[in-house]
Amino acid sequence: MIKQLTIFGVGLIGGSLALALRKAAACTRLVGCSRNSVHLQQAIDLNVIDEFTLDPIEAVRDADVILLAVPMGAMEAIMEQIADHLPPAAIVTDAGSSKASVVAAAARVFGEVPEFFVPAHPIAGREKSGVSAAIANLFVDHKVILTPLDNTCPSAIERVTRMWQTAGAQVQTLGVEQHDLVLAATSHLPHVLAYGLVDTLSETDYVEEIFQFAAGGFRDFSRIASSDPVMWRDICLENKTAILDALQNFQDNLEMLRNSIERSDGNALLKTFTHAKTIRDKNVMKHKTKPE
């Protein structure tokens, strides 16, 4: 049971967690904090949070759990504002999509990463963003990855684990670096590709026809190009190295495919396509969890 959860950034993720905990009666008081009182009032009107304040210090005063659910680029500034004002028993966790940068920010702000800080990443999202898109079951059967450090307090890990489990999520643990590599490949790279594809096609003479006759391939690809641009800009900057790595591998692969098509090398194409299909079919059968 949480007495007061303070959420920095009551958007899709923060708002959905609030709704889930409220539904489960797992939190006595839900407090929101951001720089935007209009959004926070909307969160009150939608019955997502109980109270809000624009003052970070006031926001954390009586909190036992504090969730940083702001865009990656705003994490460090919030940490700086609250660092000297945290209640002794408070646990801090976050919902950032890359973990090394959040951990590095915590180390800079606190001198070392505090034992009460549990880096976390709920793998869930929708095309829509903002508190109006928040839903209580967003995390049901989705994964939340915790990336605790050696010094992270086991009881803090346990508490964050239970919080996300209460929201219906499957909580698992990865190393910080491993998390960033895996997510760069499975989430960050595909988003870059989707934005790039839509941007490319928007430059052609036949944009109108492209959307009019859009087949499934394009629909699937382009859906995630409707994601929040600020969030994804931040992710690209914060998980830069891993994303550039994954991107380079992909670009090399694409160049190889281009060469095969140029040479009309049907055998090479068939080999690659068959290999990809086999890998994908095998692994999808094995891991039947819900997509984002």
134 binds its own copies (CB under 8 A): no
Closest contact distance (angstroms) between CB of 214 and its own copies is 5
The pattern of x and - marking residues 140 through 159 that bind its own copies according to CB under 8 A reads ---x-x--------------
Taking CB under 8 A as the criterion, the residue among 22, 29, 162, 233 binding its own copies is 233
Q: Which stretch binds its own copies (CB under 8 A): 35-43, 45-53, 57-65, 255-263?
A: 255-263
Residues 171-200 that bind its own copies (CB under 8 A): 172, 174, 178, 181-183, 185-200
E strand or H helix at 122 = strand 120-122
Measure the CA–CA gap between 239 and 131, rounded to whole angstroms.
25
- Residue 10's nearest CA partner among 84, 240, 35 is 35
Tell me whether residue 165 or residue 260 sits nearer to its own copies (CB atom). 260
CA 7, 87, 152 angle in degrees (round to 5)? 80
Tell me whether residue 153 or residue 268 sits nearer to its own copies (CB atom). 268
117 binds its own copies (CB under 8 A): no
With CB under 8 A, what is the number of residues at the site for its own copies?
A: 97
Tell me whether residue 39 or residue 143 sits nearer to its own copies (CB atom). 143
Residues 64-83 that bind its own copies (CB under 8 A): 73
Tokens of 125: 């999202």
In this structure, are residues 4 and 64 in contact, taking their beta carbons and an 8 Å threshold? Answer: yes
204 binds its own copies (CB under 8 A): yes
In this structure, are residues 96 and 180 in contact, taking their beta carbons and an 8 Å threshold? Answer: no
Measure the CA–CA gap between 156 and 146, rounded to whole angstroms.
11
Dihedral angle sign, alpha carbons of residues 188, 276, 173, 165: positive
Residues 263-282 that bind its own copies (CB under 8 A): 264, 266, 269-270, 272-277, 279-281
Measure the CA–CA gap between 135 and 273, rounded to whole angstroms.
38
